[in-house]
A = this chain, B = another copy of it.
Amino acid sequence: MTERADWAELRQRRMAEPGADEAYAAARLAFELGHAVRELREGLGWSQTQLARAAGMTQSAVARFEAGGTVPTLVVLERLARALDMRLDVRFSPLADAA
């Protein structure tokens, strides 16, 4: 990644800063989710525009999300999940112990 984005860079820095533990985790989560959605979308052979329509949002929103531009809201995640015909799973799980 060269340096196309802006927030992409900012977020990177943020994630590098010490003490930003939780913020870091959230950003990472956002990034991974974005990635996941992208793969699912491509898997279906859809364009961002198509997914956007299906999820009731705009192409720009999808792009921003996939790129990890913001920490998504549960509402949005839910919408995307539906559009992709998936189930959104959010839960607290033990750190190391059994499940």
Cα distance, A88 to B77, chains bound together (Å):
15
Given A85-B95, A87-B93, A75 contacting B36 (CB threshold 8 A)? no
- The interface stretch among A5-13, A17-25, A59-67 is A17-25
Residue of B nearest to A24 (CB): B78
A91: interface (CB < 8 Å): yes
> Counting CB contacts under 8 A, is A2 at the interface?
no
Residues of chain B lying within 8 A (CB to CB) of residue A45: none
Copies of the protein in its oligomer: 2
Interface string of A73-90 (1 = CB under 8 A from B): 111011111101111111
15 A-B pairs besides A29-B78, A29-B90, A87-B92 with CB distance below 8 A are A22-B56, A22-B78, A22-B79, A22-B82, A25-B78, A26-B78, A30-B74, A33-B90, A71-B74, A73-B73, A81-B92, A85-B95, A87-B93, A88-B92, A89-B91
